[in-house]
Amino acid sequence: MAHHKSALKRIKQNKVKNARNKHVRSTLKTFIKKVREAVDSKDANAAKEALAAAIPVIDKAATKGVIHKATSSRSVSRLTKLVNTLA
């Protein structure tokens, strides 16, 4: 256990950030999963709606620093390509 006041504060801050990042990452995975499930069920409208809902979540996660900007760009690109296979 840390002894310095600054180290104790850093531990508290890390716990809060970890909880926030975990929530964002979990939500992100859920939105991506909904898009993939819609594509698997061959429902083009549901897939487009799910993609439209997922893109802002992915972009926001990148803005907040939870995932890298390139990772968000790549996942949006791949999901868009996947949805376009139905059209």
Q: Does residue 7 belong to any structural domain of this protein?
A: no
Indicate the pTM of the whole model: 0.86
> What is the reported pLDDT for 72?
97
Q: Does residue 15 belong to any structural domain of this protein?
A: no
- Is the Cβ–Cβ distance between 8 and 2 less than 8 Å? yes
Q: Does residue 79 belong to any structural domain of this protein?
A: yes
**Domain of 80: which CATH number?**
1.20.58.110
Domain that holds residue 52: 21-84
Q: Does residue 38 belong to any structural domain of this protein?
A: yes
Q: Is the pLDDT of residue 1 over 90?
A: no
Q: Does residue 66 belong to any structural domain of this protein?
A: yes
> What is the reported pLDDT for 2?
84
Q: Does residue 30 belong to any structural domain of this protein?
A: yes
Q: Does residue 50 belong to any structural domain of this protein?
A: yes
Number of structural domains (the chain) is 1
